[in-house]
C-alpha cells in the first residue's frame, strides 16, 4: 500500500434490512490522514455504513477495501488496525475506567498492557477517573473513555459514529483537538456528526440521505457544486418575513439563523429581484455566501436536485 | 496460519477476568445464586426432616377378636396413625384413600383372631397412599415392629410359642401410587442437580443477551476476539459458582439432614464438572438465540420445567410413560441424578456411572456446537 492509496475505497456498497434499503450503492474514497465528515439526518444510513466498514454488518452487494484489505474477506485484519467508536456507549458501565481499558488492551493482545493503559489515560486526561466506574462518568468523559479504548492498539483508521452527540461544547472542542493531534500523526478518521461546525472542521464531507450519497468533497467543493446563492436578511422581527419570502419567485429556501434569515435560490437575478421589494428602512439585505448548512438543507428539501 | 487467529489465551483470559469483576460487582445476582440452594434446602428440608405423625387411617375389619382391637389401639398409640374410621367397608376405604382423606387403610381379614391363635400366620394388609413417600415411609417402616410388639403382649401363656419367629402374622405393605418408593434421601442429592440446572442455565442465558442489550456486544464484535473465547470465558467463572452451590448443598445435606454419603466425594465433584458445563452450554446457546433477556429467561424456564418433571426428581422415572422417559433420557439432569444418587447413596464408582456420563458429554457437545454456530459474528 503506497501512501497515496485511499484508506477507504468502496464502490456500490449496499445494505438492506428487509425492504428498507439503509445504504444504497454508496461509493466513497477517504485519503490517508484525512478527517472525513459524514453527515445526514437520522436514519440516513451513517451507522449502517460505518458498521459495514468494521465488519459488524455484512454488505449485501458492492465491493471495497479498507486499509487495503478486502471488506468481505479480510475483516479480521481490518479489525486489528482500526478503532471503532459506536454511537451508543458500548464499554462496560460496571467496570472502572482502568478495567475497561485493561480489558481492551488484552483483547488486542498488546505487549505492554499496564504501560499502554497508563499512557493512554494520561494522554486523554482520564487519570483522575481511573478507578471510577464507567457508568458514573458524564457524557463527555464517557466519550473520552470510548475514544481511549479505541486508541489503545494504535489504529491507523478511526471510525467514529457521532462521537460528540450529547456532549457539552467544551468537551466537544477537546475531542476535536484530540482528533487533530491524531491525524497529524497520520491517523485517518471518518466521523459522523450532526453538528455543522464540526462538518466545517473536516477536510472533506459527505452528505447522506435515505441511504443515498447526495454530495461529497471539501466544503468549498460541496458549496460550489450546489450552485446555491444566498442573501442574509436582518432586521426587526425578521422571522415574520419567512413565509412571505418563501412564496416568492426565485426563492428556494429560507433558513433562520439567530436574528438573520438566510434566503437562498439558484438564480442570482431572480433572487435579487425577490428581495428588492423589502422595505429598506426596516430590513437590511446583503449578498452573502451559501454555507454548508444552507447546502445541506437544500439537499434535504430537494434530494433529486433540479 | 498464526495460532492466535484461532484461539488466544490472552483474549480468553481477558474475558474471564472481566466476567469475574462483573460478577463481583453484581452483588444481587451473586447473592441470589448462593441463596437459591439454601432456600431450596430449607423448603425441601421440611419435607425431608419432618417425621409426619397422626396420619389419617381407615380400618376395614372383618374380625371382631380382641387381637384386632389390640392392633388398632397399638397403631394409635404409636403416634404414626390416627384412626379416623374404625369400621369402614372395602368401598368406603378405597374411596377415602383415593380422595386423599386417609393416608392408610388397614385390612384385617375374617377370622384373623382365630387363625392367629391356630398359628396360621394370617395376613394383614396395610395400604398406603405413597404419592408423597416422605410422608408415609416412616410410618410404614414402623408398622412391622409395631404389629409384632402389640401382639406379643396378647400372645402370652399357652400362646407364647407363637411369638417366636416366624412372626405370628404376615404384614403386607402396599405403597400404592408410587411404585419406585423414593426414600427421603433421594431428595438432597437430587436437589443438587436441580439447583445447578436452574441457576446456571438462567445466569449464562443472560450472559450474551445482556451484552447485546447493553450495546457492549457492538464493541466486542469490532475487536479481534473469537466466539469460542467469549463463550469459554463466560463459562469458567460460573463453573466456580456451580461448585460453590454444590458445596453448600453437600454440607447442608451432610450436617443438617444427615444424608448418608458413602461414595467418593472427589469423584462426584469431578464428574459434576461435565454436568455444570452442560448446563452452562445450554444457557449460552439460549443466549445466542434469545433477542432479549426476558426471552432468555423464558427459554431457561422451558428447559427447567421438563428437567425437573421428567428427570426422575419429581416423579419416579420408571413410573413415567415411555414418551416422557424418552425425553427424560435426553436431559442432563436425568443422568446426573442417577450419578449423584449412585455415588452418594450406593457408593458407585466410575465404572457404574459411566453409562450416565457419556449422555451428558454428548449433550454438552451438541449444545456448544449449536451455540457456536448461532453466535453471530455480526450484528445482522
Ligand atoms: N439492525 C437493524 N435492523 C433493521 N433496520 C435497521 C437496523 N439498523 C438500522 N436500520 C435501519 O436502517 C436505516 C439506517 O439507519 P442508521 O444506519 O442507523 O442511520 P443513521 O446512523 O444515519 O441514523 C434506518 O431506517 C434504520 O431504521
Ligand atoms: Mg447512527
Pocket test residue of A24, A47, A206 for ligand 1, highest count of atoms within 8 A of CB: A47
Side-by-side strand order, sheet with A204-209: A82-85, A157-161, A188-192, A35-39, A204-209, A212-217
User: Listing from the earlier edge strand, what are the strands of the sheet with A61-66?
Assistant: A20-30, A8-17, A61-66, A69-70
The verdict on residue B4 lying in a domain is no
What is d(CA B192, CA A224) in angstroms, rounded to the nearest whole number? 75
Asked if residue B30 belongs to a domain, the reply is no
Asked whether residue B225 falls in the same domain as residue B166, the answer is no
B17 touches A at CB < 8 Å: yes
- pLDDT tens string B227-240: 889 988 988 888 89
Among A202, A191, A134, which residue's Cα sits nearest to residue A165? Answer: A191
Same structural domain, B249 and B335: yes
B132 and B194 co-located in one domain: no
Asked if the structure places residue B287 within a domain, the reply is: yes
Cell of B309: 418433571
Please check the confidence at residue B136 and state whether its pLDDT lies above 70: yes
- Looking at the predicted structure, is the pLDDT value of residue B286 above 50? yes
For residues B203 and B241, membership in a common domain is answered with: yes
Domain A229-289 fold: Alpha-Beta Plaits (3.30.70)
Instruction: Give the ligand 1 atom nearest the CA of A41.
Output: 22
Of A88-102, B195-209, B324-338, the poorest mean pLDDT is in B195-209
CA dist B366 to A152, B187, B298, B307, B361, Å? 38, 29, 21, 17, 9
Residue B338 parent element (H or E): helix B332-346
Residues B47, B313: Cα–Cα separation, whole Å? 14
Q: Which residues surround ligand 2, an ion (CB under 5 A)?
A: A 46-47, 87
The share of chain A scoring above pLDDT 90, in percent, equals 66
Q: B337 in a domain, yes or no?
A: yes
Residue range B304-314: mean pLDDT, rounded: 87
**Domain boundary pick from B154, B176, B198:** B176
Q: What angle do CA A33, A35, A39 make, to 5 degrees?
A: 155
Cβ–Cβ below 8 Å for B217 and A108? no
- Give the residue from B176, B202, B217 where a domain finishes: B176
CATH architecture of A8-218: 3-Layer(aba) Sandwich (3.40)
Q: How many structural domains compose chain B?
A: 2
Cα-to-centroid distance, B260 and ligand 2 (Å): 62
- B320-346 pLDDT per residue, tens: 788 998 999 999 999 998 898 888 877
Q: What is the pLDDT of residue B35?
A: 85
**Same domain? B273 vs B305:** yes
Half-sphere exposure (Cβ direction) of B172: Cα atoms closer than 13 Å: 11
**pTM to 2 decimals?**
0.79
The domain boundary residue, chosen from B112, B143, B176: B176
Same domain as B139, residue B110: yes
- Cβ distance B216 to A90 less than 8 Å, yes or no, reads yes
For residue B6, being part of any structural domain is answered with no
Over residues A96-109, the pLDDT tens digits come to 999 999 999 999 99
Of A155-159, B51-55, B86-90, where does the model show the most confidence?
A155-159
Asked if residue B270 and residue B129 are part of one domain, the reply reads no
Say yes or no: B280 and B296 in one domain: yes
* B151 and B231 both lie in a single domain: no
pLDDT, residue B51, reads: 60
A67 within 8 A of A78, measured Cβ to Cβ: yes
CA–CA separation, B121 and B109 (whole Å): 12
Nearest one of B359, B355, B328 to B342, comparing CA atoms: B355
Contact state of B22 with A86 under an 8 Å Cβ cutoff: no
DSSP label of A96: B
Atom of ligand 1 nearest to the CA of A46: 22
Q: Which residues of A touch B378 (CB under 8 A)?
A: 55-58
* Cβ within 8 Å of residue B54, ≥6 positions away: B79, B80, B81, B82
**Domain shared by B257 and B151, yes or no:** no
Domain edges within chain A: 8-218, 229-289
* Nearest CB partner across the interface for B218, out of A56, A103, A133: A56
CB-facing half-sphere around the CA of B255: CA atoms within 13 A: 5
Q: Confirm or reject contact between B170 and chain A (CB < 8 A).
A: no
> Touching check for B27 and chain A: CB below 8 Å?
no
Classify the phi-psi angles of A235: left when phi > 0, otherwise alpha if psi is within -120 to 50, otherwise beta: left
Give B289 or A302, the one with higher predicted confidence. B289
Chain-chain contact of B18 with A80 (C-beta, under 8 angstroms): no
B130 inside domain:
yes
- The string of DSSP letters for A170-220 reads HHHHHHHHHHHHHHHTT-EEEEE-S-HHHHHHSSEEEEEETTEEEEEE-HH
| Cα–Cα nearest to A57, from A85, A112, A96, A17 | A17
- Spatial CA neighbour of B203 closest among B290, B284, B272: B284
- The C-alpha angle B44, B24, A131, rounded to 5 degrees, equals 165
- Per-residue confidence at A147, pLDDT binned at 50, 70, 90? very high
Instruction: Round the average pLDDT of chain B to a whole number and report it.
Output: 83
- The Å distance, Cα A85 to ligand 2 centre, comes to 11
Q: Is the pLDDT of residue B180 over 50?
A: no
Query: Does residue B11 lie in a domain region?
Result: no
- State whether B95 and B219 are in the same domain: no
Residue numbers in B near A104 (CB within 8 A): 223
User: With b meaning 16 or more CB within 10 Å and e meaning fewer, what string describes A259-292?
Assistant: ebbbbbbbeeebbeebbeebeeeebebeebebbb
For chain B, percent of residues with pLDDT exceeding 90 = 23
For A146, the enclosing helix (H) or strand (E) is helix A139-151
C-alpha dihedral over A168, A174, A180, A186, to 10 degrees? -110
Cell of B226: 473469537
Residue A50 CA, closest ligand 1 atom number: 17
Contact indicator for B125, B176 with CB cutoff of 8 Å:
no
Quick one: B189 and B327 in the same domain?
Answer: yes
Interval A276-305: pLDDT, tens: 888 888 889 898 888 888 888 888 776 554
Q: Tell me what percent of the residues of chain B surpass a pLDDT of 70.
A: 88
Domain holding B96, by residue range, is: 55-176
Average confidence (pLDDT) over B8-32: 91
Q: Does some domain include residue B34? A: no
B22 chain-A contacts, CB cut-off 8 A? 92, 94-95
Q: What is the per-residue pLDDT across B82-119, written as a single tens digit (0 to 9) for each? A: 888 887 888 888 888 777 778 889 988 888 888 888 88
Amino acid at each position: 500500500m503506497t501512501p497515496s492509496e485511499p484508506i477507504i475505497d468502496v464502490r456500490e456498497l449496499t445494505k438492506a434490512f428487509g425492504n428498507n434499503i439503509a445504504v444504497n450503492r454508496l461509493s466513497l474514497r477517504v485519503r490517508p490522514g484525512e478527517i472525513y465528515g459524514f453527515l445526514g439526518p437520522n436514519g440516513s444510513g451513517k451507522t449502517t455504513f460505518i458498521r459495514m466498514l468494521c465488519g459488524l454488518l455484512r454488505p449485501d452487494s458492492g465491493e471495497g477495501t479498507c486499509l487495503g484489505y478486502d471488506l468481505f474477506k479480510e475483516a479480521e485484519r481490518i479489525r486489528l488496525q482500526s478503532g471503532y467508536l459506536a454511537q451508543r456507549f458500548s464499554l462496560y458501565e460496571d467496570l472502572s475506567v482502568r478495567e475497561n481499558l485493561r480489558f481492551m488492551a488484552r483483547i488486542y493482545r498488546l505487549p505492554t498492557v499496564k504501560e499502554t493503559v497508563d499512557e493512554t489515560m494520561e494522554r486523554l486526561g482520564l487519570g483522575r477517573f481511573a478507578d471510577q466506574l464507567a457508568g458514573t462518568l458524564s457524557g463527555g468523559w464517557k466519550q473520552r473513555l470510548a475514544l481511549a479504548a479505541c486508541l489503545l492498539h494504535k489504529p491507523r483508521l478511526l471510525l467514529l459514529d457521532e462521537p460528540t452527540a450529547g456532549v457539552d461544547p467544551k468537551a466537544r472542542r477537546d475531542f476535536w483537538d484530540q482528533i487533530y493531534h491524531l491525524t497529524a500523526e497520520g491517523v485517518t478518521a471518518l466521523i459522523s456528526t450532526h453538528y455543522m461546525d464540526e462538518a466545517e472542521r473536516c477536510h472533506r464531507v459527505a452528505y447522506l440521505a435515505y441511504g443515498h450519497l447526495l454530495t461529497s468533497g471539501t466544503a468549498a467543493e460541496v458549496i460550489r457544486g450546489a450552485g446555491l446563492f444566498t442573501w442574509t436578511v436582518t432586521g426587526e422581527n425578521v422571522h415574520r418575513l419567512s413565509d412571505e419570502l418563501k412564496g416568492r419567485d426565485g426563492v428556494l429556501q429560507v433558513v433562520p439563523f439567530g436574528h438573520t434569515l438566510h434566503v437562498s435560490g439558484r438564480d442570482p437575478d431572480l433572487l435579487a429581484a425577490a428581495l428588492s421589494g423589502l422595505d429598506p428602512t426596516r430590513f437590511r439585505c446583503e449578498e452573502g455566501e451559501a454555507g454548508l448548512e444552507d447546502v445541506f438543507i437544500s439537499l434535504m428539501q430537494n434530494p433529486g436536485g433540479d | 496460519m498464526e495460532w492466535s487467529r484461532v484461539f488466544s489465551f490472552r483474549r480468553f483470559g481477558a474475558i474471564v477476568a472481566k466476567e469475574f469483576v462483573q460478577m463481583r460487582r453484581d452483588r444481587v445476582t451473586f447473592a441470589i445464586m448462593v441463596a437459591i440452594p439454601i432456600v431450596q434446602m430449607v423448603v425441601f428440608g421440611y419435607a425431608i426432616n419432618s417425621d409426619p405423625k397422626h396420619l389419617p387411617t381407615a380400618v376395614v375389619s372383618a374380625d371382631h377378636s380382641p387381637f384386632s382391637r389390640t392392633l388398632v389401639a397399638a397403631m394409635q398409640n404409636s403416634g404414626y396413625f390416627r384412626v379416623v374410621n374404625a369400621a369402614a367397608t372395602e368401598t368406603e376405604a378405597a374411596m377415602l384413600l383415593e380422595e386423599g382423606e386417609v393416608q392408610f387403610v388397614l385390612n384385617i381379614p375374617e377370622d384373623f383372631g382365630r387363625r392367629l391363635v391356630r398359628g396360621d400366620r394370617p395376613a394383614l394388609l396395610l395400604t398406603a397412599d405413597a404419592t408423597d413417600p416422605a410422608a408415609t415411609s416412616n410410618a410404614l417402616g414402623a408398622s412391622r415392629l409395631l404389629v409384632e410388639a402389640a401382639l406379643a403382649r396378647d400372645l402370652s401363656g399357652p400362646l407364647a410359642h407363637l411369638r417366636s419367629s416366624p412372626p405370628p402374622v404376615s404384614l403386607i405393605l402396599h405403597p400404592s401410587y408410587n411404585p419406585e418408593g423414593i426414600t427421603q434421601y433421594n431428595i438432597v442429592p437430587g436437589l443438587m442437580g436441580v439447583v445447578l440446572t436452574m441457576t446456571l442455565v438462567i445466569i449464562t442465558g443472560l450472559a450474551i443477551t445482556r451484552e447485546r442489550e447493553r450495546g457492549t456486544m457492538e464493541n466486542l464484535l469490532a475487536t479481534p476476539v473469537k466466539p469460542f473465547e467469549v463463550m469459554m470465558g463466560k463459562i469458567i467463572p460460573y463453573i466456580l459458582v456451580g461448585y460453590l452451590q454444590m458445596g453448600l448443598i453437600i454440607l447442608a445435606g451432610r450436617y443438617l439432614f444427615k444424608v448418608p454419603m458413602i461414595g467418593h466425594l472427589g469423584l462426584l465433584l469431578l464428574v459434576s464438572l461435565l454436568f455444570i458445563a452442560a448446563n452452562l452450554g445450554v444457557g449460552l446457546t439460549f443466549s445466542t438465540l434469545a433477542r432479549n433477556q426476558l426471552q432468555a429467561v423464558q427459554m431457561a424456564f422451558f428447559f427447567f420445567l421438563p428437567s425437573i418433571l421428567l428427570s426422575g426428581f419429581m416423579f419416579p422415572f420408571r413410573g413415567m410413560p415411555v414418551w416422557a422417559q424418552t425425553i427424560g433420557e435426553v436431559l442432563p439432569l436425568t443422568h446426573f441424578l442417577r450419578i449423584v444418587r449412585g455415588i452418594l447413596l450406593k457408593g458407585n464408582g466410575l465404572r457404574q456411572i459411566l453409562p450416565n456420563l457419556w449422555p451428558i458429554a454428548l449433550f454438552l457437545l451438541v449444545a456448544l456446537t449449536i451455540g457456536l454456530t448461532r453466535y453471530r459474528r455480526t450484528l445482522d
